[in-house]
Amino acid sequence: MPRKEKKWVVAPRPGPHKKLDSGPLQVLLRDVLKILEKGKEVRTIIKRGEILVDGRLRKDHAYPVGLFDVVTISTIGKNYRAVPSERNLSFIEIPKNETKTKLCKIVGKTIIKKGKLQLNLHDGKNILVDKKDFKTGDSLLVEIPNLKIIEHFPIESGIVGIVTKGVDVGKIGKVKKVEQATSKEHAKIICDFDGKEKEVLKDRFFVVGRKEPAIKIN
């Protein structure tokens, strides 16, 4: 949002994304996408059930929208995806056939009853799986809103990903090597960005496909 233009601004409500990594629906529609000019008008269309996030109706104007969320504005037939950029998040328009899929990063794993494995995803969602070959840092291409896994992208040499924070945010590169964490250093990814190798913290790298991104991200 432009500085000093508004005295008050809506803050994202506690939800699936961290406050500093997301923005409220009202700000997205009014100030970023500029669908409407007035906050009251935006709140009206949200309450009418015209906005979907990841395939589900959201009627809270302060609902937090974060990385790789899919926002659909049903009345005008427009669809957008949140992607990493120098401004933290940018929103790109996507075709209708991509509104049913989303990339999610595995940020944690939990063993629950009967030996089931619960995958904890970056957007607050959880998925139960039987297989144990999923690792923290891997990505999943899932159907939304039912979270059916379409494809699993392990974080390994040759895979393609995007930087989500730091000086290289928004850059897409190919993994050359994964360096595990030590007692003194965080886990790192050695990446090839158009012929130039750079180190990226593993926490700031998001796998998006095998040889190329599985979905539109720029």
Asked if residues 71 and 91 have their Cβ atoms less than 8 Å apart, the reply is: yes
Give 113-127 pLDDT, tens digit per residue.
878 899 999 999 999
| Listed residue (150, 151, 144, 109) closest to 126, CA to CA | 109
- Name the β-bridge partners of 136: none
Q: How many CB atoms lie within 10 A of CB 25?
A: 25
Please tell me the pTM assigned to this model.
0.91
Give 27-69 pLDDT, tens digit per residue.
999 999 999 888 899 999 999 999 999 999 999 999 999 999 9
Give 123-177 pLDDT, tens digit per residue.
999 999 988 789 999 999 999 999 999 999 999 999 999 999 999 999 999 999 9
| Phi/psi at 32 (5° precision) | -95, -60
